[in-house]
């Protein structure tokens, strides 16, 4: 008990220094938590993907569409329960900066394949009926202050012209990881327009979404689909939705690596700061440790004292950091919603925060402890005047 009291007392012997160290650690924990959450946000699409959904696209690359006739062919393949399709539209709302994902989809089957998009029944009905209708995620609606019945104009980048939509439905996600910042409208609306303006581009889908009867057979089913279209003009590549999402992440892997390296650096910076504090704290008290030793206090007790002091400081910093991460992340998520539609601090991040603080506390105490244990009683008492 006495030793615990001594640890706390020592940790705050120099109030200013301990406060500054704790502040530094708090900042580092927030920064680390942030960077991890950014990386996790990158993977949010993967987290939200389902094992029973497959994505079929043109094998050359996503920019090449597939004929609409493939829909029936895919549906006839054994193990396939349902087929939907869609097209990345790439429309811009007023300015390029307002980026969000917008898709032309076949509404009926698409919404069936995505039960995690929750829409009120009357909204759903109204949307199905009206070709110019659009369904938009809750977060996107909030971002632009839209409401049901609003007219929204998107400027086409892939499909030229101004395209007008009426907001008829708002969807909410079933889980926290569901992306609530997408914009969906009728594929038919796009296709009919293309038939008039660019007939060669009409009757194509950018991708097919395939619901399988049993997720265990996802791989054989996707192989069958690709085999079906082998050696045709538009060969296909079918993957689980998860693999499809991952392929995007791999393309930006370099940036993720950079972020991960950087989050390691923040740990090193704060390690240096805490180690410095401990080194100074012990150096100033070397005569005290000499006194303790002359009283017969053993090396392990002295170690316990120093490690304990270091851990008291890091624990306080860690707790403060974790507590502050949440409001900070909330503010950040609001500001950066167009980059990161899903921005949630996970439990693992919290555990990692704790583990890192603990580790910093231990490492920072190693050298000072060795120094305190090795101190020569006589030499160091001489410094006491």
Partner 1 sequence: MRIFFLYSLRNLLSRRLTTILTGIGMCLVVFVFASILMLSEGLRKTLVDTGSYDNVIIVRKGATSEVQSAVERHQAAILETQQEIALGADGKPLFAKELVVLINLPKRDSDKPSNVVIRGIEENSLILRQQQIRIVEGRMPKPGSSEILAGINIAQRFKGAGIDESLTFALRNWNVVGIFDAGKTGFSSEVWADADQLMSAFRRQAYSSVVFKLKDTSEFDELKSRIETDPRLTIEAKREVRYYADQSEAMSSFLRILGMSLTIIFSLGAIIGAMITMYAAVANRIGEIGTLRSLGFQRSSILLAFLMESLLISLIGGVAGLILSSFLQFFTVSTMNFQTFSELAFSFSLTLEIALMSIFFSIIMGFLGGVLPAIRASRMKIVDLLR
Residues 145-184 that bind partner 1 (CB under 8 A): 155-158, 160-161
| Least Å from the CB of residue 107 to partner 1 | 25
Residues 47-76, one symbol each (x = binds partner 1 by CB under 8 A, - = not), give ------------xxxxxx------------
What is d(CA 347, CA 335) in angstroms, rounded to the nearest whole number?
Answer: 23
Residues 320-339 that bind partner 1 (CB under 8 A): 339
Residues 105-144, one symbol each (x = binds partner 1 by CB under 8 A, - = not), give ----------------------------------------
| Least Å from the CB of residue 174 to partner 1 | 28
- Select the residue interacting with partner 1 from 111, 136, 209, 266 (CB under 8 A): 266
- Select the residue interacting with partner 1 from 7, 10, 11, 21 (CB under 8 A): 21
Please say which residue, 21 or 238, places its beta carbon nearer to partner 1: 21
Q: Is residue 273 a contact residue for partner 1 (CB under 8 A)?
A: yes
Q: Is residue 94 a contact residue for partner 1 (CB under 8 A)?
A: no
Q: Is residue 251 a contact residue for partner 1 (CB under 8 A)?
A: yes
- Select the residue interacting with partner 1 from 6, 23, 119, 352 (CB under 8 A): 23
Contact residues: partner 1, CB under 8 A = 14, 16-17, 20-21, 23-24, 27-28, 30-31, 35, 59-64, 90, 96, 99, 155-158, 160-161, 200, 231, 233, 235, 237, 247-248, 250-255, 258-259, 262, 265-266, 268-270, 272-273, 275-277, 279-280, 283-284, 339, 367
């Amino acid at each position: 008990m006495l030793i615990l009291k001594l640890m706390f007392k020592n940790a705050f012997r120099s109030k200013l220094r301990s406060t500054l160290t704790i502040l530094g650690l708090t900042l580092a924990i927030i920064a680390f938590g942030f960077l991890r959450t950014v990386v996790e946000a990158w993977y949010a699409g993967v987290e939200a993907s389902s094992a029973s959904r497959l994505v079929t696209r043109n094998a050359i690359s996503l920019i090449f569409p597939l004929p609409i006739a493939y829909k029936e062919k895919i549906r006839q393949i054994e193990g396939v329960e349902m087929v939907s399709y869609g097209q990345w539209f790439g429309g811009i709302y007023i300015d390029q900066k307002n980026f969000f994902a917008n898709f032309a989809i076949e509404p009926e089957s698409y919404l069936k394949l995505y039960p995690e998009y929750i829409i009120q029944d009357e909204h759903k009905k109204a949307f199905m009926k009206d070709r110019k209708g659009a369904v938009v995620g809750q977060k996107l609606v909030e971002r632009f202050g839209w409401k049901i019945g609003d007219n929204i104009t998107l400027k086409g980048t892939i499909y030229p012209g101004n395209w007008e939509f009426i907001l008829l439905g708002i969807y909410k996600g079933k889980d926290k990881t569901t992306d609530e910042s997408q914009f969906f409208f009728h594929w038919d609306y796009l296709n009919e327009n293309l038939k008039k303006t660019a007939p060669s581009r009409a009757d194509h889908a950018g991708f097919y979404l395939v619901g399988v009867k049993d997720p265990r057979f996802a791989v054989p089913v996707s192989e069958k689909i690709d085999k079906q279209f082998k050696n045709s003009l538009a060969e296909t590549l079918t993957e689980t939705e998860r693999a499809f999402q991952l392929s995007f992440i791999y393309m930006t892997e370099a940036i993720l690596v950079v972020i991960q390296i950087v989050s390691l650096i923040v740990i090193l910076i704060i390690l240096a700061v805490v180690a410095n504090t401990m080194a100074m704290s012990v150096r100033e008290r070397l005569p005290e440790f000499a006194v303790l030793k002359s009283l017969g206090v053993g090396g392990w007790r002295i170690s316990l004292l120093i490690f304990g002091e270091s851990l008291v400081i890091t624990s306080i910093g860690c707790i403060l950091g974790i507590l502050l991460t949440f409001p900070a992340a909330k503010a950040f998520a609001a500001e950066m919603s167009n980059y990161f539609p899903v921005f949630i601090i996970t439990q693992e991040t919290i555990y990692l925060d704790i583990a890192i603080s603990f580790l910093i506390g231990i490492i920072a105490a190693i050298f000072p402890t060795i120094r305190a244990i090795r101190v020569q009683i006589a030499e160091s008492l001489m410094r006491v005047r």
